[in-house]
Structure 1
């Protein structure tokens, strides 16, 4: 049974509420800003102020921190990482560029096996282990989704340059001025607002239960997504652990809502210069993703300065966007040409490959229909 939709839409955006309401019975939120002003602010099945783990949409927030430092002249994209983090220059990583870290070309997917979930809560333990790690491929020669290590690699560059940890830098330099409820390291005082995420198992076609699924799991996949066994392979199980939400995991542990995601990207559209946005929108990856691809299921992603470029939300919409999705439905992006910022969250996680969730595509389409 469809849940009751609450919230507001600006004149001309009423159909977005209709499409959002027809999108299923899972608790969800949807928010859009146009030229810095809210035009869609909707929720269903949960309190207005509910927040949740947004998984890899956190990478967009982490990338935003690094890009601010680049724009301010404090971090050079084409400098070696060792200019800022000397200890990183070991085991074939000596010439790794900052730009490669942001675009998943560093090859450092995880430390050596042996870290525990408790170790993950200590920033220095993880960054020291990553600095000592051997890359999975020669840095700069290929790319593969740094599912967990991205947060520590980029976050440590932020810390080395600025002195503040990733979570504090983000809170003070982005979340506060953007008026975004978004944390990389959730304070205990906000835990009462947390909405639990649950997994909706996908339907398995008849006969598929006997298929060998190993052909769909790449050789680096579990290494990248579990930090070599330190983090549970079940994202929902990890999100249910207070340690995960509090640790400041810059790749997947952020907590926000649709409003916070949209407000962040609306603020970035004003804060980023045209030159910064133009470089972000220039994809720096092509071909198969070494982590996500297998011979049976090739995956290509386009990254620019840490953001996913041109998210595939609707092939009928002519839009050049930057943002980042999160596992199971979370969607967030900015469209600089239209001055649009969009955020969507849902507590019902549907496992699947990267890309904007099928449940949110019609909603995005309705937003663009209103613009056009």
Structure 2
């Protein structure tokens, strides 16, 4: 297969999406592979893949796209009255009240306003594979800023806190609720805990390739390990966290660490958001319109202490209406470090999922804008 070969199908009117995806594939490493899927009002309209090791059902690490699936669990339990977003976390988890964290709510955690983004001295890769271990370490940690005074992204740890609250309230882990209530009923190829039987479909994440000049420029801008950004991304451990190796570790995939341990395909990512808002496969939507409205409402905007101008969050989800100006104001979703992207645009009727296996230069993925715009144009025209 050449690097420009594209496989899969598009619905009538979405042919330009295939053309744009082919152009993107031609610019990338043909061996690494990429996938693109989209729904329009609950009907799949795009299902494409390219690359020597890519198929429509190939699975790979989706990093923080995992947070979208985890947030959907929270939204479902909130909708049912099981969780109260404005209740202090410590009400269910008394140990968490230590070091001035007694007033932090689940809403604070979901909107990255808690100040709890890591621990002094860092968390090892083995610790970051296990939400329960992360939670135990975070319980004693003092926040890195006064809760509620600012926001900053807790890339690898934030949903371990959410998981602990869910476990204490329901007696089930976030991963168990996701699999039983969301993944299995809707047939989603997106796992928070990849079964051994599905391992043969997994393809590892690949390191980005760079010129010496690009490499030098990148490392000249890498933050100090004990900076706010360094803590948020696990660089303050010894050794610093290797993001590529993280998703390629069987323990991470098996446990489905709720912040970044998910494994899936573009079909699974797009299907997740279609199921949430419109329903798929003859099943009703997971969320009521009022729940969608609550979880897609802007909560944390302006400069993120960790990610800078790349921040902006709804409730658990990234605010995609601010990321892509052509989408509706309440578009929501989450991207992932290696270049995966996923979102729903309730106004435009779009659910979008994209994966790639090779990290981009400096974590830069300009094809996201092109592919999201192509899907939006086709959906609007049709």
TM-score for the superposition, normalised by structure 2? 0.88
> Could you tell me whether the CA contact under 8 Å between 2:334 and 2:343 is conserved in 1?
yes
- Among 336, 344, 347, the alignment partner of 2:354 is 344
Counterpart in the other structure of 2:252: 244
1:163 aligns with 2:164: no
Tell me the CA shift for residue 206 of structure 1.
8.1
Tell me the CA shift for residue 198 of structure 1.
0.9
Counterpart in the other structure of 1:28: 34
- Among 39, 47, 50, the alignment partner of 1:41 is 47
Unpaired runs of 5+ residues, structure 1, are 294-298
Aligned counterparts of 1:339 and 1:238: Cα–Cα separation in 2: 34
- Among 276, 285, 301, the alignment partner of 2:291 is 276
Counterpart in the other structure of 1:15: 16
Deviations 1:153-203 (A, max 9, x none): 111122122211121111111111221011112122111101121122355
> Could you tell me whether the CA contact under 8 Å between 1:67 and 1:305 is conserved in 2?
no
1:246-265 matches, cutoff 5 A: 246-265=254-273
Counterpart in the other structure of 1:305: 315
Aligned counterparts of 2:162 and 2:302: Cα–Cα separation in 1: 23
Seen in structure 2, the aligned counterparts of structure 1 residues 245 and 214 have a Cα distance that, compared at 3 Å, is: closer
Counterpart in the other structure of 1:290: 305
Aligned counterparts of 2:215 and 2:127: Cα–Cα separation in 1: 41
Unpaired runs of 5+ residues, structure 2, are 278-284
1:313-328 matches, cutoff 5 A: 314-317=324-327, 320-328=330-338
Aligned counterparts of 1:151 and 1:231: Cα–Cα separation in 2: 23
Partner SS, residue 343 of structure 2? strand
Aligned counterparts of 2:310 and 2:218: Cα–Cα separation in 1: 28
Counterpart in the other structure of 2:161: 153
Seen in structure 2, the aligned counterparts of structure 1 residues 115 and 312 have a Cα distance that, compared at 3 Å, is: closer
Deviations 1:116-137 (A, max 9, x none): 3333444433211111111111
> Could you tell me whether the CA contact under 8 Å between 1:327 and 1:351 is conserved in 2?
no
Tell me the CA shift for residue 288 of structure 1.
1.6
> Could you tell me whether the CA contact under 8 Å between 2:317 and 2:332 is conserved in 1?
yes
1:369 aligns with 2:369: no
Find runs of 4+ consecutive structure 1 residues off by over 4 angstroms: 202-212, 214-218, 311-314, 316-319
CA RMSD of aligned residues (A): 2.5
Q: Which moved more, 1:202-211 or 1:261-270?
A: 202-211
Counterpart in the other structure of 2:281: none
Partner SS, residue 101 of structure 1? helix
1:109-188 matches, cutoff 5 A: 109-113=117-121, 115-188=123-196
> Could you tell me whether the CA contact under 8 Å between 1:93 and 1:135 is conserved in 2?
yes
Seen in structure 2, the aligned counterparts of structure 1 residues 22 and 163 have a Cα distance that, compared at 3 Å, is: same
Seen in structure 2, the aligned counterparts of structure 1 residues 215 and 168 have a Cα distance that, compared at 3 Å, is: closer
Seen in structure 2, the aligned counterparts of structure 1 residues 321 and 145 have a Cα distance that, compared at 3 Å, is: same
Tell me the CA shift for residue 230 of structure 1.
7.1
Partner SS, residue 263 of structure 2? strand
1:4 aligns with 2:14: no
Counterpart in the other structure of 1:51: 59
Partner SS, residue 167 of structure 2? helix
Aligned counterparts of 1:290 and 1:324: Cα–Cα separation in 2: 18
Deviations 1:91-111 (A, max 9, x none): 010111110010111111123
Aligned counterparts of 1:232 and 1:248: Cα–Cα separation in 2: 21
- Among 60, 63, 69, the alignment partner of 2:68 is 60
1:97 aligns with 2:105: yes
> Could you tell me whether the CA contact under 8 Å between 2:223 and 2:230 is conserved in 1?
no
Q: How many residues are matched?
A: 365
Seen in structure 2, the aligned counterparts of structure 1 residues 203 and 311 have a Cα distance that, compared at 3 Å, is: farther
Counterpart in the other structure of 1:332: 342
> Could you tell me whether the CA contact under 8 Å between 1:308 and 1:322 is conserved in 2?
yes
Tell me the CA shift for residue 238 of structure 1.
1.4
Seen in structure 2, the aligned counterparts of structure 1 residues 314 and 229 have a Cα distance that, compared at 3 Å, is: same
